[in-house]
Structure formats: structure tokens, C-alpha cells
Amino acid sequence: MSAHCQLTGAQPGFGNAISHSHRRTSRRFDPNIQRKRYWLPSERRHVRLVLSAKAIKTIDAIGIEAAVARIRSRGGKV
């Protein structure tokens, strides 16, 4: 599963891990990505979305219909 959120567009950030001796090695900061299934009443079907934890909270606030509209406006497929 790719570390990319369908709603917010969150994706990995990159940086350095710095050891005690101050040597730097590459590392990756992944968002907290989850697969979640929602019932979409307007289309009378379930949709499975790949979302970050923040996006799940956003859907709780704005509703699944508005969230799907945002995903589609960004050019995403639902």
C-alpha cells in the first residue's frame, strides 16, 4: 500500500536520522495511512478509501459525501 492519502494528499516526508555521534543517514517520515470502508448513500454502495488518520477525523466532521466530492475535485478516483 502506498503511503499516500486520497483526501488530504499526505505523503512521506524525507529527512535525516542523526545518531549520537551526529552521523546522518536517510530516513522517511510516513503518514499514518489506514484503509477504511464507508457506505456512500448517494450511490448506494460501499467505497474503500486509503486515508490518513487526520483525514478520517475530517470525514467524521464534514461527512462522507463532502469528502468524496473533495477527492473527485482533486482528480481522484472513488
17-60 tens-digit pLDDT: 999 999 999 999 999 999 999 999 999 999 999 999 999 999 99
- pLDDT of residue 1 exceeding 90, the answer is no
Contact present, 26 and 14 (Cβ < 8 Å): yes
Bridge partners, 17 (sequence order): 25
pLDDT score at 2: 77
pTM of the shown model: 0.86
Contact present, 8 and 49 (Cβ < 8 Å): no
In this prediction, residues 61-69 reach a mean pLDDT of 97
